[in-house]
Amino acid sequence: MTQRYRIACDEPKELNTVEEAKAKIQDHKLAVILFNERYPEPNTVEHKFNWCRQVYEHKFDLHCYKCLDEDKFKTGFNIKVTPAFIFFRDGEEIDRFEDADQPESNAPKEEKDPKEYRIRTYLDKLCTKQN
């Protein structure tokens, strides 16, 4: 009998200051910053992101970071609701989505995981230069 396993992956590098986050954005062509609590519940969008981000990191040289759900980051990046993702290309914000744990109503019916579908849609847009 065959079984499927998923190997746990590392969390994105945690950034400690708004200045550090803004410097990382400028240092890399493609970057994503996740704003969320330190220890999210299982089966959240952050866990889905961690499963699929490694492919994008390897294939597109995407750099992923995490900032904790703290007022300094919410103010510095104008975040209203977490979890939130901001996508950057060449130092410029190209897209964002907040309250990311809400289910994706536009996911095709054949998609087994609407949260993973949603994050992959945003990552595809960032990495393939579609605007």
Mean pLDDT of the chain: 84
- Longest CA pairwise span in the chain (Å): 52
| pTM greater than 0.85 (yes/no) | no
Residue that wins the pLDDT comparison between 10 and 41: 41
- pLDDT tens for residues 77-111? 999 999 999 999 999 999 998 888 876 666 676 67
pLDDT bin (cut points 50, 70, 90) of residue 131 is very low
- Return the pLDDT at 39: 87
What are the structure tokens assigned to 80, written together?
């209203």
Q: Which domains does the chain have, with CATH numbers?
A: 13-127 (3.40.30.10)
Contact criterion met (CB below 8 Å) for 35 and 74 = yes
